[in-house]
Amino acid sequence: MAGWCDVNLTSTGEMEARTAGRLLYENGIELDHAFTSVLRRASFSCNMMLNMANQHWVPVTKTWRLNERHYGALQGYNKDTAYKELGLDQELVMQMRRSYDVRPPRMLDDHPYWHGTDRRWVHQSLAIRCIKIVCNSPFRFIPYFRYRKLSPDQLDSSRAESLKDAAERIMPFYNSVVVPSMRSGNKCIIVSHANTIRTLIKNIDGISDEDIKGMSIPTGIPLLYRLDKNMKPVDPQIELEFRYMVEPKGCVEGSHRIALQA
């Protein structure tokens, strides 16, 4: 359960990102604005996809609000063995993973993947040469915290999230940033994580809390939405308005759900 763990893309993930870009290119999909999370696997996927689509110049907005759901104390554990390692009931762990409003145990400060002290270093431009002299170094670095803009309440609530909790940070960003971009005439793409995409689909298509449990999102396959001027699906009679650019392997469409074979 990677969650907010900043893992690298696997070789399979890199291939899927490039394949997604190729599908966009071959289908003549032109983009104006891309959105992604601050996690490297999504950020790298976005860059690879845009490069392969020959649209590397498209502006990209990154935000923690599009991060994967935070799995709390379960984060970093294997989904099949976490219950043993943490001494939890196996059915409870499954419920935490798949239900809409059940949170996992909270992540504490001593957890190896606690993001409250996530430090990055960014190069500060040294156009003023005197700084070089004072520092006696050609570079000056300043500490940069990826989640520095989170309020104390936001940081605390990010210690563990249900899918419902994740929606409370994802949808305000979608409605206040992505929707205005689309209203201005931009064709937008969101490159993110399974639970982030599930949240967006749930809210756009009006899927119930119960039915969202059965929806899985295949990786590396762009899905397209047609939205009207009110940002609603063009044909509300269609159970799921979006369509995949290629049919996911093992995909079975059901009532308001896409079921994928593991």
Average pLDDT, the chain: 79
Rg of the chain over CA atoms, in angstroms? 20
If DSSP codes are grouped into helix, strand and coil, which group holds residue 252? strand
Does residue 224 or residue 34 have the better pLDDT? 34
The pairing of strands 140-145 and 119-124 is antiparallel
Residues 147/155, Cβ–Cβ less than 8 Å: yes
Residues 147/39, Cβ–Cβ less than 8 Å: no
Helix axes 163-173, 194-205, angle to 10 degrees: 70
Which helix or strand (DSSP H or E) is residue 142 part of? strand 140-145
pLDDT at 245: 66
DSSP character for 9? P
| Rounded percentage of the chain residues whose pLDDT exceeds 90 | 39
Q: How far is CA 39 from CA 6, 102, 158, in A?
A: 6, 24, 15
Instruction: Report the pLDDT averaged over residues 216-224.
Output: 85
The CA dihedral of 20, 25, 26, 27, to the nearest 10 degrees, is: 90
Q: pLDDT at residue 183 above 90?
A: yes
Query: From CA 208, how far away is CA 245, in angstroms rounded?
Result: 25
pLDDT at 241: 53
What digits encode the pLDDT tens for the residues 67-100? 999 988 888 777 777 666 666 766 767 777 777 8
Residues 247/203, Cβ–Cβ less than 8 Å: no
Does residue 48 or residue 109 have the better pLDDT? 48
Q: pLDDT at residue 127 above 80?
A: no
Does residue 118 or residue 187 have the better pLDDT? 187
Q: Which residues contact 175 (CB under 8 A, 6 or more apart)?
A: none
Residue corresponding to tokens 């490159």: 191
pLDDT at 120: 45
Residues 53/61, Cβ–Cβ less than 8 Å: no
Helix and strand numbers (H, E) in the chain are 9, 9
Closest to 194 measured CA to CA, from 48, 67, 49: 67
